[in-house]
Amino acid sequence: MTTKRPKLKPGLEIIGTAYLIFLISVQFAAADSAATGEELAKQLRSTPPWENSEVHGTNIISRNKTTIQVPIVCKVELKDQTWITEYKTSATTNLGAQLLSIIHSSNAPNEYLFARAPSPTAALPEPSRIPPADADIPFAGSDFSLSDLGLEFLHWPQQRRLRDQTRLGRACYVLESRNSAQHGIVRVLSYIDQETGGLLIATAYDAGSNVVKEFSLHGSSFIKVHGHWRLEKMQIHDYKAHSQTELKFDVNN
């Protein structure tokens, strides 16, 4: 985890692979300024990681005035024409362990393999294949769904490039993803850093144009470790469930 990133703001360097929403260990090249919406979505969903990696962290879930902490390990493994992103959580007092493997390809849909232990003391069963259309399942009690972690909206049929905007002090491309056949979330606006290709903000809407979920990185998410800046945490809010999940990384790992 020593790859240097362009500056997020004056004097701040991002070091390490844990930079993007959901695909924690994936790094994208800077996007093409002339790309159409479909071209931009294709570049984001089909660019493989630079290397194998493993990141440890904790999902801190705040809901109904209670907070639950769930340890999580995120791995990326490169294959010949595909790469696998694996998310594995440990059992807690009230929740069994869970395992999600997402098989990504540069020219094929995502494949989801999901296993959920029936109780905190039970072993994980063999993973079952989940169709992408049915992957809107919460992962380990968090506000991240399986399809969130797979950036499934980048595979939706309608991808439109909107006018560039500035978010979090950064010049961003804006991508609108739509799928009217979806239940719940049917539209996602993605704000993509023009310099790094990193996804800074993703806002998800229902058919009534109400915000359902929002992910955002911000400057306070970074911490200096051994003279380098690393991503320490990221958050996603579920406004309908009045819930928030903060994924906090072990930056010293």
Give the per-residue pLDDT at 237. Answer: 95
Give the per-residue pLDDT at 102. Answer: 96
Give the per-residue pLDDT at 12. Answer: 31
Phi, psi of 192 (to 5 degrees): -115, 120
By three-state DSSP, how is residue 133 classified?
Answer: helix
Of 91, 176, 90, 87, give the one whose Cα is nearest residue 137. 87
Report the half-sphere exposure of 34 (CA within 13 A, side-chain side). Answer: 0
pLDDT tens, N- to C-terminus, the chain (253 residues)? 333 333 333 323 332 333 333 333 334 445 566 789 999 998 888 888 778 888 899 999 999 999 999 999 989 999 888 999 999 999 999 999 999 999 999 889 999 999 999 999 999 999 999 999 999 999 999 999 999 999 999 999 999 999 999 998 889 999 999 999 888 899 999 998 887 777 889 999 999 999 999 988 765 555 556 665 566 778 899 999 999 999 888 866 6
Contact 26, 149 (CB under 8 A): no
Of 246, 139, 239, give the one whose Cα is nearest residue 185. 239
Tell me how far apart the alpha carbons of residues 20 and 102 are, in angstroms, rounded to a whole number: 16
Place of tokens 């023009």: 194
Give the per-residue pLDDT at 10. Answer: 31
Q: Which CATH class is domain 4-48+58-249?
A: mainly beta
Tokens of 102: 């997402």
Of 36, 24, 69, give the one whose Cα is nearest residue 215. 24
Give the per-residue pLDDT at 205. Answer: 97
CA distance to 97, 140, 238, per residue, from 118 (Å): 8, 12, 25
Which one-letter amino acid corresponds to residue 52?
Answer: N
Give the per-residue pLDDT at 227. Answer: 62
Query: Which helix (H) or strand (E) is 58 found in, with range?
Result: strand 53-63
Contact 52, 30 (CB under 8 A): no
Give the per-residue pLDDT at 22. Answer: 36
Cβ-count burial 181-204 (b if 16+ within 10 Å, e if not):
ebeebbbbbbbbbbebbbbbbbbb
H-helix segments, the chain = 37-46, 146-149
Burial of 35 (0-12, 13-18, 19+ CB in 10 A): middle
Give the per-residue pLDDT at 16. Answer: 30
The answer to whether the pTM exceeds 0.85 is no
Tell me how far apart the alpha carbons of residues 219 and 198 are, in angstroms, rounded to a whole number: 14
In the chain, what are the domain boundaries? 4-48+58-249
